[in-house]
């Protein structure tokens, strides 16, 4: 097991007081806090190694390039990809999904095709496909979610067909914390010659994720939810698929040659090798360096330990919250089906009231739809409050949270 008290010493922000109370940060599904090691790595990069990467011969550029490439390798190792050619750096999960939608979807989806998504998706794994469907004429098919917030696998198997070209599904719901069996989904998708795109924004920071074992075709995740800085994220793609895809954006870095053919009056262009083919323009070099340090930090703890710690916290929190008379936990009641996220409501109060009340006591939780409005509609929720845990959270923080929840019940 990991030691959250020791870990907390690495996170300067956790020493803060909010409204004269010690900060309790339970909004990790939105973004995580950053350890000193990541902050120092970013500072060190700008103080000692900052330069643009690739195609320069000077020392600083070479240092920056080495760091940036090392970051890709570190990410590849973390998710067990075959190498850095399968790890494209993007701004975050949203951009990663949009990359697949526009680069792969624009060229491979036509009128007769179907894209499967689920009703538990974050808007970022749903809106790009709806936008593209208007351009390309394909259907977006929605897989149902059961009343307890878990995915309806039977509905998925009924809806997948020979017309399905890609199945886009979250690994872990950002609202309910439900963990989907993406290995099973990928297997069924492949039996129908469809690809799988997994939104790993809520899984990669919290569970061991092995793309070879899961056999997914694409995996998207964000650095800032896993101790890294904002503005950096990753699209993993199987090399064979990425090689067949056209670039997402054009510009510097993503090309090998741009040569003007005077006879034809236009430029002939050849693309750079993977992953640079998909990284147009000056990349977020420092973000990559920060993400690498974050991954090293998580590897040092061990992802199995991260998972076990969050399971323990989730189980404990659900037990304690059950003591509250007016609190209802949404989604599955078994902690084993979840991953560090608990949505809830307090009878008679809006989720925003609950969040403001908790804020008064230095407890940070999120309220609203959490960018998953269809799921709230399906579960007939006006909105929800959400607590989400990470490596630095403790049982004592949960005790304090439940103590304040009991005060809220008095309103």
Partner 1 sequence: MVALEDYVARIEETCGEEKDFIVILKYDKKEEAINKILKKAKVERSISAIIFELKFKDVSFRLYGTGKAIFRNLKDKSVLQSVLTDLLL
Q: Are 149 and 397 in contact (CB under 8 A)?
A: no
Q: Are 332 and 350 in contact (CB under 8 A)?
A: no
Q: Closest approach of Cβ 352 to partner 1, in Å?
A: 5
Q: Closest approach of Cβ 356 to partner 1, in Å?
A: 6
Length of the chain in residues, anyone?
411
Q: Closest approach of Cβ 105 to partner 1, in Å?
A: 27
Q: Closest approach of Cβ 83 to partner 1, in Å?
A: 40
Q: Which residues contact 6 (CB under 8 A, 6 or more apart)?
A: none
Q: Closest approach of Cβ 141 to partner 1, in Å?
A: 26
Is-cis flag, bond preceding 342, omega within 30? no
Q: Is 384 exposed, middle or buried (0-12, 13-18, 19+ CB in 10 A)?
A: buried
- ∠369-92-364 over CA atoms, to 5°? 45
- The pair of three-digit structure tokens given for residue 168, joined into one six-digit string: 């886009």
Candidates 135, 308, 322, 411; binder of partner 1 (CB under 8 A) is: 411
- Rounded Cα distance between 337 and 330, Å, is 13
- For partner 1, the closer of residues 261 and 410 by Cβ is 410
Residue that has been written with the tokens 């609190």 in this structure: 327
Phi, psi of 263 (to 5 degrees): -65, -40
**Do the strands 255-261 and 266-271 form a parallel or antiparallel pair, or are they unpaired?**
antiparallel
- Rounded Cα distance between 272 and 276, Å, is 6
371 is catalytic: yes
Please give the distance of CA 2 from its chain centroid, rounded to a whole number: 23
- For partner 1, the closer of residues 221 and 357 by Cβ is 357
- Rounded Cα distance between 13 and 274, Å, is 37
Closest-CA residue to 403 (of 362, 352, 374, 342): 362
3-state per-residue secondary structure call for 169-187? EECECCCCCEECCHHHHHH
- For partner 1, the closer of residues 120 and 182 by Cβ is 120
- For partner 1, the closer of residues 319 and 373 by Cβ is 373
- For partner 1, the closer of residues 22 and 368 by Cβ is 368
Candidates 94, 383, 388, 393; binder of partner 1 (CB under 8 A) is: 383
Q: Closest approach of Cβ 218 to partner 1, in Å?
A: 28
- For partner 1, the closer of residues 45 and 357 by Cβ is 357
- For partner 1, the closer of residues 70 and 359 by Cβ is 359
- Rounded Cα distance between 48 and 45, Å, is 5
Q: Closest approach of Cβ 18 to partner 1, in Å?
A: 9
Which residues, 257 to 316, sit near partner 1 by CB under 8 A? none
- Rounded Cα distance between 407 and 358, Å, is 10
Size of the site for partner 1 (CB under 8 A): 18
Q: Which of 267, 324, 339, 371 is catalytic?
A: 371
Contact string 340-379 vs partner 1 (x = CB under 8 A): ----------xxxx--xx-xx------xxx---x--x---
Which residues, 16 to 35, sit near partner 1 by CB under 8 A? 19
Binding site for partner 1 (CB under 8 A): 19, 350-353, 356-357, 359-360, 367-369, 373, 376, 382-383, 410-411
Positions annotated as catalytic residues are 371
């Amino acid at each position: 097991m990991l030691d959250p008290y020791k870990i907390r010493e690495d996170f300067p922000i956790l020493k803060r007081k909010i409204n004269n109370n010690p900060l309790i940060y339970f909004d990790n599904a939105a973004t995580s806090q950053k350890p000193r090691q990541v902050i120092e790595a970013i500072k060190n990069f700008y103080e000692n190694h900052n330069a643009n990467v690739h195609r320069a011969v000077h020392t600083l550029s070479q240092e920056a390039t080495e760091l940036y490439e090392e970051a890709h390798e570190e990410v590849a190792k973390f998710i067990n990809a075959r190498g850095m050619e399968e790890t494209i750096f993007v701004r975050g999960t949203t951009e990663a999904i949009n990359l697949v939608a526009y680069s792969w979807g624009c060229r491979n989806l036509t009128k007769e095709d179907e894209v499967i998504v689920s009703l538990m998706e974050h808007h970022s794994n749903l809106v790009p496909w709806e936008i593209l469907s208007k351009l390309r004429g394909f259907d977006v098919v929605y897989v149902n979610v059961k009343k307890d917030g878990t995915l309806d696998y039977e509905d998925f198997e009924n809806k997948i067909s020979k017309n399905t070209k890609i199945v886009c599904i979250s690994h872990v719901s950002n609202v309910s914390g439900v963990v989907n069996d993406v290995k099973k989904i990928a297997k069924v998708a492949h039996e129908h010659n469809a690809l799988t795109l997994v939104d790993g924004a809520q899984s990669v920071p919290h569970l061991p994720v092995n793309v070879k074992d899961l056999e997914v075709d694409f995996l998207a995740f964000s650095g800032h939810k896993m101790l890294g800085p904002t503005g950096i994220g990753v699209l993993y793609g199987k090399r064979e698929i990425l090689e067949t895809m056209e670039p997402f954006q054009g510009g510097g870095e993503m090309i090998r040659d741009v040569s003007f053919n005077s006879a034809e009056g236009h430029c002939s262009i050849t693309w750079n090798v993977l992953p640079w083919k998909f990284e147009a323009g000056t990349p977020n070099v420092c973000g990559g360096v920060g993400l690498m340090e974050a991954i090293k930090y998580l590897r040092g703890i061990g992802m199995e330990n991260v998972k076990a710690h969050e399971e323990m916290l989730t189980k404990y929190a659900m037990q304690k919250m059950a003591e509250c008379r007016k609190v209802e936990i949404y989604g599955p009641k078994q902690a084993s089906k979840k991953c560090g996220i608990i949505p809830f409501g307090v009878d008679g109060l809006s989720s925003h009231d609950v969040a403001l009340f908790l804020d008064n006591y230095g407890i940070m939780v999120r309220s609203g739809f959490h960018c998953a409005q269809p799921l709230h509609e399906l579960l007939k929720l006006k909105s929800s409050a959400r607590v989400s845990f990470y490596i630095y959270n403790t049982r004592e923080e949960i005790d304090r949270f439940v103590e304040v929840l009991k005060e809220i019940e008095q309103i």
